[in-house]
Chains A and B, each alone.
Chain A
Amino acid sequence: MTAADLAAPPSARGVRLPLAFAIALRELRAGAGGLTVFVLCIALGVMAVAAIGSLGASFDAALARQGRMLVGGDLSFERVHRRARDEERAALDGLGQVTESASLRAMARIPGGKSALIEMKAVDGAYPLYGQVVVAEPRDAGPIWRNPGVILAERSLLERLNVGIGSTVSIGDTTVTIGGILGTQPDRLADRLAYGPRVLMSLDTLDRTGLVQPGSLIRWIYRLKLPGKRGNDRTELNSARFTIEAKFPESGFAITDWTDPAPSIRREVKRFTQFISLVGLGALLLGGIGVANAIGSYMAKKRHVIATFKTLGATSRLVLAVYLIQALMLAGLGIAIGLVLGALTPALMSATYGDALPIALAVEPHPASLLTAAGSGLLTMLLFVLLPLGRASVVPPAMLMRSHLTDEQERPPLGFLVTAAGAGLALFVLAIAASEERAITASISAGIVAGFLLLLGFGWLLERIAARFRRTKPPSLALALASIAGPGSIARQVAISLGLGLGFLVAIALIDRALMAEFEDNIQIEAPSYYFLDVDAKDLAAFRDTAKSVEPDAKLADAPMLRGRIVAVNGVPVEKVEASPDSRWVLASDRGLTYADELPQGSTITQGSWWEPGYAGPPLVSFDADSGPGLGLKIGDTITVNVLGRNVEARIANFRKIDWESLAINFVMVFSPNTLAGAPHRVLVTLEYPKGTDSAREARLVQALADRFPLVTAIKVGDIVEAAKDLLQKVMTAIGMTAGVTLLIGTLVLTGAVAATQQRRKYQAVLYKTLGATRGRIVSAELLEFGLLGVAVAAFALAAGTITAWALCKWGFEVPFIFSGRAVAEAVLLALLLVLGVGAFATWRVLSAKAAPYLRGE
């Protein structure tokens, strides 16, 4: 007979999928067993990626959907200091319906001296063009803020001043009545960060306060609603924008339209979610290791069945198809669970934190994010499942009768290795393609892979060290070390499963500690206690005298202050300037400007030189040394700034290194005095109390200044720092939660890995008992094994997390690194808790194993 006579009938040349499917289902009758871990690992990993992607997409969609409400119109025209001139207003009115508003910070005072910083918004009768202002109390009050002399205030102002609805407060030169409690406003997201309670009033009431002065820090916003449905047309939006830009090229308006209502917020949220996505990807890869363990263990149990199939005539392809179908079915289940949970995350966030969010999240599913998560899950599954399946496909049928003669592990055919590598590469490419900052994503992804390899190497090292000391006393320790060193050791599994999550948590805890310490210890020590805005230059001497009369030891500093926007760099409009991500903020909106004869305190010149006192030549500017290179600037380049409706071009004379953390007066741009001295402006004054000043003394000084200078706004630096700390804490919590998911997956992976060794442990325990070991000795050996591994991995995670945190503190955040004993203790404790918890459960099951099944021959 020749091979041709045995040629397979046509139907058998490929794999009969219905048959493979039928056998796959039959094989699952025994239950998924250890494959529950497989499903959970995939589900959690996919959930992490899907949740993060869905949240980001949900935020983007919300911005897009609520664009009009967030902008307050179809377009918004905003600038600082100057109200629109008549011709500018007429041009805007010619385009559609316009509402005018003014935003500024001020002080609300009550008799007796108590005062509070407020974020004021004064609006005209047409506000809001879209959405509604909610008056929380009294209900059905209607637009009472339109009444002259009446304001709406957030509840926190009433609590701070201990007043109620109907009470009067002084703002500037006038007294107003609190008409009600301010609820939500449609355009809140577009407002800047609030340092105090929000207050809403009419423009008429604002005029009465006397706060509108030349050079005052008031943000004038003109919101435009185009007629009919023109606002839906991109061309019409652009046309309106270009009309104003063309008519008033130096107006200084920052123009936004509803299609991109908060570009800087959107960008920052995107950066943040991309970073968190990478942590999610790390969690998915870790889950993949759990998948590999689970499927490897499962296939090991199936070797006899596979050999039987082959003995009965199944081809290797059919065997592979059967178990690949099983893997795909279970992966599909895991992916589906992960996608559902991930897709529900925006809804969950909305339900739980809806009131605290500035925007209503779009809670419907976002296909692109879910598809990316599903694709990532599938590729991860393939990456980690193909090798065990490949090994299984080459199980020799002879093993049915020859399980003792040779125990060499089958190697998967090369095709499986290549395909698995291909899946890994595809996963890498998907992660990069889904990201906007591709270089960063690529390097962090490579870092994650390097981290895994490092942990694998550490696990191997533990095995070698254990092998070196295995002949030791007491016997329990020897047994534990033998288990760590011998075949089937879980050292690598423990290292990988726990090392990554633990390392993340340690790094986050240490960075958090360092940043908080910077706030608490450094910033607050060096920072001034108060900023005073809008001090009239004429009143500066009197202001100083008043301060000194109440607090002679107070230190005061002052600087002229205006606001302006960079409109061109070397003649190139800013829209066309390519800025690095770290420097984009300088061009994003208006910046504080000042002028000075001398180098400001807290700065050092890194390049160029300062101008002579009394310099009267062409305008010069000193630029921040950290952001200059990101804008491609060098000495001699020109910056064009729009200030008070005029474009001013200045040449860069030097770069300054600014100590921002000191919170002393400083500016990105400091001009030569001849550039801006003639412009109407106010003065910024900082005040530093002597050390040990109590809050009562502070309050007395602030009250004295507020009484004498009612148009001056006092901002307590401590409030700003607290607001920043609060924001930082929220960000760190979000990052910490993602690291927590990684640790949870790691625990699952560890559980799966230990479960895979249960048969060996039970057999060993039975042998030990047969040879005379007491139960106590067996328990000690088991717990010592887990305990030693837990401590070793905790130590490694501490070291890796500490180095990572140190590097990020030094080069990323530029804050002093602080080593925290508490973080050390918490990490070790957590590692031991997890490992010993899993170990205790494993030990309990081992002790309950009966001898007969293991000792009786086949």
Chain B
Amino acid sequence: MDQTLKPASASAIRLEDVHVTLPSRAGPVAILRGLDMNVAAGESIAVVGRSGSGKSTLFMVIAGLERSTQGRVTVLGADFSILNEDDLARLRAANIGIVFQSFHLVPTMTAIENVALPLEFLDRDDAFDAARVALAEVGLSHRETHFPGQLSGGEQQRVAMARALAPKPSLILADEPTGNLDETTGADVMDLLFTLKERTGATLMLITHDRALAERCDRIVSLADGRVTGAAAKRRAAAS
């Protein structure tokens, strides 16, 4: 892998006075209002909050999928304000693994092709070999040639995780990864996610409604009305 794509920074995520205002039919809507956040490298953080609190927007801003209207966003040492769309895409491919609630696997590609995709975008000659390894890590070697339509929800989510982790990202973003799964499957998926996170030492940001899941992270950040209303370290929450 080209080392220039692997930034080195103690702070994985730094947001300074970030505002996001989006247009809608009813007029501009302020989603994030002066949000500050700092996530250390290797930390796991859960973002909780009600519907409409801005969790998804925060997620997208950090993933480089949405631009902030104001403020500074620095992820893995990269100042997003000076990166164009293609730069952001390349940053994601190399450094950020994303797991969605709805999996978002490409329906016309097999499991191994889905997993190999970000590696192919990185011009990796060993894309399929690395994808094979990633699929093995999530226990789906026997499903390499299956299409998403032929996999269960849990299997699809595990393929999505393999895809997110195959490039060995420094940052993992997961948006309600168990939202479309039953309890048992969801628990299995999360166990896997945390195991892989520990193994790689990546930073993990998890959006979730599930309190129990949030408790598994190092820190819980609460959002309300586009602002951080509470950020408690698990240890402090346990102490209180």
A6–B91 touching, CB < 8 Å: yes
Say yes or no for A315: interface residue by CB 8 A criterion: yes
B104–A308 touching, CB < 8 Å: yes
B82–A312 touching, CB < 8 Å: no
Which of A22, A316, A396, A401 is B86 in contact with, Cβ under 8 Å? Answer: A316
Which of A6, A315, A402, A408 is B5 in contact with, Cβ under 8 Å? Answer: A6
Bound CA span A313–B163, Å = 12
Chain B residues near A396 (CB-CB < 8 A): 65
Chain B residues near A541 (CB-CB < 8 A): none
Chain B residues near A400 (CB-CB < 8 A): 65, 100, 102, 104
Tell me the smallest distance from the CB of A390 to a CB of chain B, in Å: 15
Chain B residues near A858 (CB-CB < 8 A): 102
Which of A27, A309, A313 is B94 in contact with, Cβ under 8 Å? Answer: A313
Chain A residues near B94 (CB-CB < 8 A): 313
Which of A312, A315, A401 is B163 in contact with, Cβ under 8 Å? Answer: A312
Give the residue among B82, B86, B100 with the most A Cβ atoms within 10 A: B86
A313–B123 touching, CB < 8 Å: no
Bound CA span A3–B5, Å = 11
Chain A residues near B25 (CB-CB < 8 A): 406
The interface-forming segment of A7-15, A61-69, A433-441, A828-836 is A7-15
B123–A314 touching, CB < 8 Å: no
Say yes or no for B118: interface residue by CB 8 A criterion: yes
A401–B175 touching, CB < 8 Å: yes
Chain A residues near B109 (CB-CB < 8 A): 26, 29
Chain B residues near A26 (CB-CB < 8 A): 106, 108-109, 113
Chain A residues near B159 (CB-CB < 8 A): none
Interface 0/1 of A304-327, CB less than 8 Å to B: 110111111111111000000000
Say yes or no for A356: interface residue by CB 8 A criterion: no
Q: A1-B76, A7-B4, A12-B90 are in contact. Are A312 and B9 (CB under 8 A)?
A: no
B22–A406 touching, CB < 8 Å: yes
Say yes or no for B198: interface residue by CB 8 A criterion: no
Tell me the smallest distance from the CB of B208 to a CB of chain A, in Å: 15
Which of B22, B85, B93, B108 is A316 in contact with, Cβ under 8 Å? Answer: B85
Q: A5-B4, A9-B2, A305-B107 are in contact. Are A315 and B89 (CB under 8 A)?
A: yes
Say yes or no for B63: interface residue by CB 8 A criterion: yes
Closest to B79 in A: A1
Chain A residues near B29 (CB-CB < 8 A): 405
Interchain residue pairs with CB less than 8 A apart (29): A1-B7, A1-B77, A3-B82, A5-B7, A6-B5, A6-B78, A6-B91, A8-B90, A11-B123, A29-B108, A30-B108, A305-B107, A305-B108, A309-B106, A311-B63, A311-B98, A312-B117, A312-B121, A312-B163, A313-B90, A313-B92, A313-B93, A315-B86, A315-B89, A316-B86, A318-B121, A400-B104, A401-B56, A401-B100
Closest to B91 in A: A6
A405–B92 touching, CB < 8 Å: no
Say yes or no for B83: interface residue by CB 8 A criterion: yes
Q: A28-B108, A314-B121 are in contact. Are A405 and B24 (CB under 8 A)?
A: yes
Q: A6-B90, A405-B24 are in contact. Are A397 and B65 (CB under 8 A)?
A: yes
Chain B residues near A401 (CB-CB < 8 A): 56, 59-60, 65, 100, 175
Tell me the smallest distance from the CB of A323 to a CB of chain B, in Å: 13
Chain B residues at the A interface, C-beta cutoff of 8 Å: 2, 4-5, 7, 9, 22-25, 29, 56, 59-60, 63, 65-66, 76-79, 82-83, 85-87, 89-94, 98, 100, 102, 104-109, 113, 117-118, 120-123, 163, 175
Chain B residues near A313 (CB-CB < 8 A): 89-90, 92-94, 118, 121-122
Tell me the smallest distance from the CB of A1 to a CB of chain B, in Å: 4
A1–B108 touching, CB < 8 Å: no
User: 16 extra interchain contacts, Cβ-Cβ under 8 A, other than A6-B90, A398-B60?
Assistant: A1-B9, A1-B79, A2-B79, A3-B83, A6-B91, A12-B123, A19-B121, A22-B120, A30-B107, A307-B104, A311-B65, A312-B93, A314-B89, A315-B85, A401-B60, A402-B22
Bound CA span A317–B63, Å = 20
| Chain A interface extent, by class | 35 or more
Tell me the smallest distance from the CB of B69 to a CB of chain A, in Å: 14
Q: A6-B78, A8-B90, A398-B65 are in contact. Are A406 and B108 (CB under 8 A)?
A: no
Chain B residues near A314 (CB-CB < 8 A): 89, 93, 121
Which of A6, A16, A308 is B4 in contact with, Cβ under 8 Å? Answer: A6
Chain B residues near A29 (CB-CB < 8 A): 108-109
Tell me the smallest distance from the CB of B95 to a CB of chain A, in Å: 10
- Chain A residues 280 to 333 lying within 8 A of chain B, measured CB to CB, are 304-305, 307-318
Closest to A400 in B: B104
Bound CA span A405–B54, Å = 13
Chain A residues near B90 (CB-CB < 8 A): 6, 8, 12, 313, 315
Tell me the smallest distance from the CB of B134 to a CB of chain A, in Å: 13
Bound CA span A778–B186, Å = 42
- Chain A residues 729 to 775 lying within 8 A of chain B, measured CB to CB, are none
- Chain A residues 6 to 64 lying within 8 A of chain B, measured CB to CB, are 6-9, 11-12, 16, 19, 22-23, 26-30
Bound CA span A316–B22, Å = 22
Which of B5, B77, B120 is A19 in contact with, Cβ under 8 Å? Answer: B120
Bound CA span A304–B121, Å = 18
Chain B residues near A305 (CB-CB < 8 A): 106-108
Bound CA span A28–B108, Å = 7
Chain A residues near B22 (CB-CB < 8 A): 402, 405-406
Closest to A394 in B: B85
Q: A6-B5, A304-B104, A313-B92 are in contact. Are A402 and B60 (CB under 8 A)?
A: yes
Chain B residues near A11 (CB-CB < 8 A): 123
Closest to B23 in A: A406
Q: A1-B9, A3-B82, A858-B102 are in contact. Are A312 and B118 (CB under 8 A)?
A: yes
Bound CA span A686–B102, Å = 91
A312–B92 touching, CB < 8 Å: yes
Bound CA span A2–B4, Å = 11
Bound CA span A828–B83, Å = 59
Bound CA span A398–B22, Å = 12
Chain B residues near A312 (CB-CB < 8 A): 92-93, 98, 117-118, 121, 163
